[in-house]
Structure 1
Amino acid sequence: MELTYQTRKGKAYTGNSLDLLDSLEDNSINLVMTSPPFDLLRQKSYGNLNGDAYIEWLTEFAVKVKDKLTEDGSFVLDLGGAYKKGVPVRNIYNFKVMIKFVEELGFFLAEEFFWYNSSKLPSPIEWVNKRKIRAKDSVNTVWWFSKSEFPKADVKKVLVPYSDRMQKLLKDSKKYYDAKERPSGHNISEGFNKDNGGAIPSNLLQIPNSESNSKYLKYCKKTGVKGHPARFPAKLPEFFIKYLTDPDDVVLDIFGGSNTTGETAENLERQWISCDLDREFVAISAFRFAQDEEQAKSLYERIMNGECVDLRENTLV
């Protein structure tokens, strides 16, 4: 495990995240936000295991994560769905992971989230496209684990725009509702029409993963390298970083990939740490912090040659 590059707010490492976790102080990380390789039948270029072996592998990391989290810290884990081999029935590994982490490791499930990716291509091909006996799989489970029953969280930081109807209600409440108890038992008071700056979000996060013209991909193309094949959109870590941390808190991604988490944390003035086994993925992730095409190429070449690059002043040294 070695430091590969650092920026004004963060550090990116190449190596095994188990070693990185061992090197960190206990109770020092406010949020672990990550998306590991999923339990998939088809092997991916970035690696993946299957079945019980996958769950045990992921558990090794979770045990160490728990020690490193602050008492009010959180562990947010994005896991995609999968099918069993050869049959149109679901692999429930993601639910097994959740149950194991809670019942055996002592995490609390603060809340379950579901990330709906409207731009996801139809899959699996056999059951959806060919035989047409299953619907498109477009939702990932995102488990929000916490070390204690009351992790740091402030939903006011992630309010969403009001609906058109709510905006009309705020302008003229008497026209749209009467303050009284409803048949359901809910008491709708006069305070219902208070403008709080936005609505409380739901645990269904509707975020398309349709990046096509980002700086990261632009520099990949110009440099002649392939970007990481399993990137999540910046709005996913952005939601949880805003929701669960404060400026200068520490955010860790133990399966860094293209380092979307690190870039997002930097933009939100959080400290960040990222780690990935693949040196080339780490080198390419530095594109997120490059000022131009020439700097991106230089970053890639120097990192692939084994150098540690310092970008704290956004200049190569």
Structure 2
Amino acid sequence: MTVKRNKKAALTPYYETDFGQAYLGDSLELMKQLPDSSINLILTSPPFALTRQKEYGNKQEQHYIDWFMQFSKEFYRLLADNGSLVIDLGGAYLPGHPVRSIYQYELLVRLCREQNFFLAQEFFHYNPARLPTPAEWVTVRRIRVKDSVNIVWWLSKTENPKSDNRQVLKPYSDSMKALLKNGYKAQMRPSGHDISDKFNNDNGGAIPPNLLELANTESNSYYMKKCKELGIKPHPARFPKDFADFFIKFATDEGDLVLDPFAGSNTTGYAAEKLERRWIAMEINEPYLDGSKIRFEEEIDLFNTAEKINGTTQKV
């Protein structure tokens, strides 16, 4: 894999790889340079509408929805007719109170009613390793349980976005393996569901639920280790590569084009690169984008290390 680094310039990539380009700037302006119906998947985790300001530039809740709707117009224009928009959104509590904001739902309604998106399906991104927050309500006053789920909206321009759950099958459970081995008698279940003999078919794996249990092990990643080694401050809000992998496999084919307009450390671009999808990343914060190049240098680093072990110092 090659990473070509460019000097900062208007409308030119900040850096390029074999499959993608990363751009520095305001994605609201950058997206205007892209042609209509050119993107197969927009996959992003935008700054959340939090009640406390974070360093990565989150918007306050009361302004968040209007701010995001500006981007949604470009999202709609850029998506192919069978394309998908996947948005990972964290929740928030109302300032000073142990009750939840409903901003994610207000945003969904406006995206569907005003921007004419369809809700293809809702997902829930569950991180079992998440810290017990918000501390005031969870660990101090002990009146709430920890918040471990992000809501994920899978939206589309039409009623039939491209998708294939055969690309994201999970390993069968032991009980299902036993059933496939020993057979299952077709019968009516107590719930009223008629289970046919097709239930015995081995389809290569189980269809996953819309609850995505993905522990974020990013703290042990090459990106984090290299940031520490080089003295680079990593992006503070990264989602796991497995999250990006799931939706890229599910909603795109090889060669399709994936866009992340709030790229951060560019997990989306890195996952797309590995899956041989073309990608475009946009990030307004230069240090974050500069640091994201580290993700694409891992293979080069591993290759050079192997060459040294084999007694040569040849570089790629």
User: TM-score scaled to structure 1, two decimals?
Assistant: 0.90
Classify the secondary structure of the residue corresponding to 1:63.
helix
In 1, Cα distance between equivalents of 2:61 and 2:254: 38
- The Cα of 1:184 is off from its aligned counterpart by 2.6
Residues 1:29 and 2:39 are matched in the alignment: yes
**Which of 237, 242, 257 is residue 264 of structure 2 equivalent to?**
257
- The Cα of 1:94 is off from its aligned counterpart by 0.8
Residues 1:269 and 2:276 are matched in the alignment: yes
Classify the secondary structure of the residue corresponding to 1:91.
coil
Amino acid at match of 1:214: S
What residue in structure 2 maps to residue 39 of structure 1?
49
What residue in structure 1 maps to residue 152 of structure 2?
142
- The Cα of 1:181 is off from its aligned counterpart by 2.0
In 2, Cα distance between equivalents of 1:289 and 1:163: 35
Cα distance per residue 1:21-52 (max 9 Å; x no partner): 10000000000000011011111111111123
Amino acid at match of 2:247: F
- The Cα of 1:180 is off from its aligned counterpart by 1.6
Amino acid at match of 1:255: F
**Which of 61, 68, 75 is residue 51 of structure 1 equivalent to?**
61
Deviates further, 2-11 or 180-189: 180-189
Classify the secondary structure of the residue corresponding to 1:273.
strand
What residue in structure 2 maps to residue 89 of structure 1?
99
Deviates further, 28-37 or 214-223: 214-223
What residue in structure 1 maps to residue 209 of structure 2?
202
Residues 1:128 and 2:100 are matched in the alignment: no
What residue in structure 2 maps to residue 311 of structure 1?
none
Amino acid at match of 1:292: D
Cα distance per residue 1:162-217 (max 9 Å; x no partner): 111000101111xxx42122233322122211100001110000001122221111
Q: Runs (4+) of structure 1 moved beyond 3 Å? A: none
What residue in structure 2 maps to residue 292 of structure 1?
301
Cα distance per residue 1:55-94 (max 9 Å; x no partner): 1111111111000000000000000011000000001111
Residues 1:155 and 2:156 are matched in the alignment: no
Question: Which residues of structure 2 form unaligned runs of 5+?
Answer: 1-9, 305-314
Q: How does 1:150-189 map to 2 (within 5 A)?
A: 150-173=160-183, 177-189=184-196
In 2, Cα distance between equivalents of 1:213 and 1:86: 34
Tell me: higher relative CO, structure 1 or 2? Use CA pairs within 8 A at least 6 residues apart.
Answer: 1
Classify the secondary structure of the residue corresponding to 2:155.
strand
In 1, Cα distance between equivalents of 2:219 and 2:95: 32
> Is the Cα–Cα contact under 8 Å of residues 44 and 261 in structure 2 kept in the other structure?
yes
Amino acid at match of 1:187: D
Cα distance per residue 1:78-126 (max 9 Å; x no partner): 0001100000000111111111101111000000000000010011110
In 2, Cα distance between equivalents of 1:44 and 1:183: 51
Residues 1:101 and 2:111 are matched in the alignment: yes
In 2, Cα distance between equivalents of 1:191 and 1:29: 37
What residue in structure 1 maps to residue 222 of structure 2?
215
Question: What RMSD, in angstroms, separates the aligned Cα atoms of the two structures?
Answer: 1.4
The alignment covers a number of residue pairs equal to 293
> Is the Cα–Cα contact under 8 Å of residues 52 and 60 in structure 2 kept in the other structure?
no
Amino acid at match of 2:269: G
Classify the secondary structure of the residue corresponding to 2:14.
strand
